[in-house]
Amino acid sequence: MSESMHITLKVWRQKNAQEEGRLEAHACDVSPDMSFLEVLDVLNDKLVSEGKEAIAFEHDCREGICGSCSLVLNGQAHGPHKNTTTCQLHMRSFKSGDDITVEPFRAAAFPVLKDLVVDRSAFDRIQQAGGYVSVNTGSAPAANAVLVPKDDADSAMDAAQCIGCGACVAACPNASAMLFVSAKIAHLGLLPQGQPERKKRALAMVSAMDREGFGNCSNHFECGAACPKGISVANIARLNRDWLGAVLTEREERKDEGD
């Protein structure tokens, strides 16, 4: 129904983590109603029918919630639109004749595995260090026993919407994971259920983040601009407060123990 558009994709190809990568150009005829990933599907189908290796890229739900897709388009993580993952980006956002450079999320802590696929397991290790409430199955109190003010629940939900895609890291000049970490700190820290471990959590997650080789925050706020879920950079301030408070009181506690 819609007119065809002609675009040129310049796609990052890299055999594996060891070898160097390069950009490879492909001319594509596309419909404006196609999603960006469908353009890659069609291109891959063509490559395979020509006996060439398909472009590896991470994707799954294709509705903006799983956090798999991880492309930098013309230098922007997830492309030109605010609050939009690459899988939800449609070609009507581009013009016929456009060149689009397609690269993976780049960061020292996200090594490239192949083409556009990177290893984001560092995020999992940060979660494993403290991104939870310690509650075993079966030991929960009745759900309505603890009241949560609606505003707190809503703010917690705002932060909890993080899909763990890593666009914040890819967009940050320091490849910092502060927005990702702060989203979890804020989500749990805003709820009564998260209070007992609040300090411990901040210390554990921040030190895990440092161990993984993510950079520091220097207030560029590119992360917030790139985040497809609109996670607020105000969460970073909360993280800093929680962490600083924890560092101070942790020293107190250590001193107490030493006495």
Question: What is the C-alpha to C-alpha distance for residues 84 and 68, in angstroms, rounded to an integer?
Answer: 13
Q: Pick from 10, 13, 26, 47 the residue near another protein by CB under 8 A.
A: 47
CA dist., res. 137 & res. 215, Å (int): 36
Query: Which residues ranging from 73 to 92 are in contact with another protein (CB under 8 A)?
Result: 83-84, 88, 90, 92
Edge-first strand listing for the sheet containing 71-73: 22-30, 5-13, 99-104, 71-73, 76-77
Query: For residues 44 and 24, what is the distance between their CA atoms, to the nearest angstrom?
Result: 13
Would you count residue 131 as binding another protein (CB under 8 A)? yes
Note whether 54 binds another protein by CB under 8 A: yes
Interface residue with another protein among 3, 18, 139, 259 (CB under 8 A) is 139
**Options 44-52, 71-79, 215-223, 237-245: segment touching another protein (CB under 8 A):** 44-52
Alpha helices in the chain, H assignment, sequence order: 36-49, 121-130, 150-160, 167-171, 178-189, 198-211, 222-226, 234-258
Residue 124 in the binding site for another protein (CB under 8 A): yes
Q: Supply φ then ψ for residue 102, to 5 degrees.
A: -120, 110
Residue 190's nearest CA partner among 238, 130, 233 is 238
The residue (of 154 and 216) whose beta carbon lies closer to another protein is 154
Q: What is the chain's Cα-based Rg?
A: 21
CB of 199 to another protein, least distance (A): 16
**Distance in Å, CB of 41 to another protein, minimum:** 5
Which is closer to another protein, CB of 45 or CB of 253? 45
Return the residues of window 198-257 that contact another protein according to CB under 8 A: none
Least distance CB 258 / another protein (angstroms): 27
Q: Which of 100, 107, 156, 175 binds another protein (CB under 8 A)?
A: 156
Nearer to another protein, 141 or 258 (CB): 141
Residue 45 is a binding residue for another protein (CB under 8 A): yes
Contact 62, 87 (CB under 8 A): yes
Residues 98-117 that bind another protein (CB under 8 A): 113-114, 117
Angle at 222 between CA 170 and CA 83, to 5 degrees: 85
Decide if residue 182 touches another protein (CB under 8 A).
no
